[in-house]
Amino acid sequence: MRPPDSEGAERRLCLLFLVLSLFFSASLLLSCGRGDAERRGETLPEERKLIVYTSHKEEVYRPLILEFEAKTGIFVELHAGGSTEMLKKLEEDSGYSECDIMFGGGVELLEADKEFLEPYRSSYADQIAGRFLSSDDSWTAFTELPLVFIYNNKLLSEGEAPKSWRELLTERWRGRIAFADPERSGTSYTILQTILSLCPGREDEALEDFARALSGESAGGSGEVLSEVESGEKLMGITLEESAWKEIARGEDLSLVYPEEGSSAVPDGVAVAKNAPHPENARRFVDFCVSDEVQRYAVDELYRRPVRTDIPGPGGEDFPVLPLSIEKMGREKNALLERWAELPKGGGE
């Protein structure tokens, strides 16, 4: 995938501004209608409500929520936070019919919490690539999210940048890697699983080597990984492809590396919550997320790869996809995070 040229980026930004303006205007009109009803003592009927928990950034969820409201007349009550935070809230609220939809988080995290989800097979399931389908319809994939390395062009040349996952386990990169705390970042949990998949028979040693390479330092969240590389605090980082391309489009002097062994490309997802108070609206939202219109928007404006086979991807860089088992990642989540928390991560030998 090539970074957009400046003119193309400017055209896209103008288009995005126009789209957002239209979405906002439509949502404002609908919201005003709701306000008028409330002032008259009327209550919004339950069939026009949807409660969404999301771990997406506002730049991702806001235009989609506004478009869903404008298209359906359904009003969304939104609760946003990190993946771990919102999944914990989903668990706590499961018995109280407080949530309809979990939007965001890697599907391996949704798999781990599927006891709190209500299976639903999207009406677009036949258009979704088989590797992105849940075995029991507990969740629906939203977009494919490959992992990449990023580095600051002011501090590293192309020849100096790391080329492989195994390089990151050596002394050369000790204390120089930006990596988010996996207790807070679902992306970082996927990174750990990716490293382990490349070290069969020596998983514990690989985990220890990577912990040592971080010198006891981890970012508070995935967004801080980008900031640490941009500022020069760290020489390189591990992040999602879409996050890296967004920063480059904004003018940051960064470059990407697709690791030579390949990379994982675990999708994020959307799922209906168990005991959802508005289940029909929740199912409509799932279908909306994998509709032709939204999947094309994800490619064109969010720098993401689609999960549908009938939507062309962004093109450009191809890479070997490492075959991670979503079910296995879901089963191992708690045990791996506990193991990671126990590892010494200081700067000593």
Q: Indicate the pairing of strand 305-306 with strand 147-152.
A: unpaired
Q: Which has the closest alpha carbon to 333: 169, 140, 119, 105? A: 105
Residue 101: strand, helix, or coil:
strand
Helix or strand or coil: residue 255? strand
Cα–Cα distance between 127 and 107 in angstroms, integer?
18
- The pLDDT, as a whole number, for residue 313 is 85
Global pTM reads 0.81
Cα atoms in the Cβ-side hemisphere of radius 13 Å centred on 52 = 28
CB atoms under 10 Å from CB of 23, counted, come to: 20
Q: Which CATH superfamily includes the segment(s) 6-144+268-306?
A: Periplasmic binding protein-like II (3.40.190.10)
Q: What is the CB-side half-sphere exposure of residue 329 using CA atoms within 13 A?
A: 25
Per-residue pLDDT, 36: 41
Per-residue DSSP letter, 308: B
Q: Which two tokens stand for residue 140?
A: 């629906």
Amino acid at 44: L
| DSSP codes, 34-87 | HHHHHHTT----GGGEEEEEE-S-HHHHHHHHHHHHHHH-PEEEEEE--HHHHH
Tokens of 327: 């079910």
Local mean pLDDT, 10-residue blocks, the chain (349 residues): 48 47 42 41 83 95 98 97 90 92 95 96 98 97 97 96 96 95 90 95 94 91 92 96 93 96 95 98 99 97 96 81 92 94 69
What pLDDT was estimated at residue 42?
54
Question: In 186-217, which positions are buried (b, 16+ CB within 10 angstroms) versus exposed (e)?
Answer: bbbbbbbbbbbbbbeeebeebbbbbbbbbbeb
Domain ranges in the chain are 6-144+268-306, 147-264+319-342
Whole-number CA gyration radius for the chain? 21
Distances (CA, A) of 227 to 9, 37, 56: 21, 45, 18
Give the span between the Cα atoms of 322 and 262, in whole angstroms. 6
The whole-angstrom separation of Cα 170 and Cα 8 is 40
Q: How many CB atoms are closer than 10 A to CB 11? A: 12
Indicate the burial class of 46 (C-beta count within 10 angstroms; 0-12, 13-18, 19 or more). exposed
pLDDT for res 84: 83
- Residue 43 is predicted with a pLDDT of 82
Confidence at residue 222, expressed as pLDDT on a 0 to 100 scale: 83
Is the domain defined by 147-264+319-342 classed in CATH 3.90.1640.30? no
Q: Which residue, among 89, 90, 324, has the nearest Cα to 189 in the 3D structure?
A: 324
Measured distance CA(306)–CA(312) in Å, rounded: 8
Task: Spell out a b/e string for 120-147, using b for 16 or more CB atoms within 10 Å of the CB, else e.
Answer: bebebbebbeeebbbeebbbbbbbbbbb
CA distances from 179 to 5, 102, 176, 341 (A): 29, 25, 10, 14
Using an 8 Å Cβ cutoff, are 151 and 236 in contact? yes
- Rounded Cα gap, residues 186 and 145, in angstroms: 12
* Residue 349 confidence (pLDDT): 44
Around Cβ 54, how many Cβ atoms within 10 Å? 24
* pLDDT score at 8: 52
Same fold, 6-144+268-306 and 147-264+319-342: yes
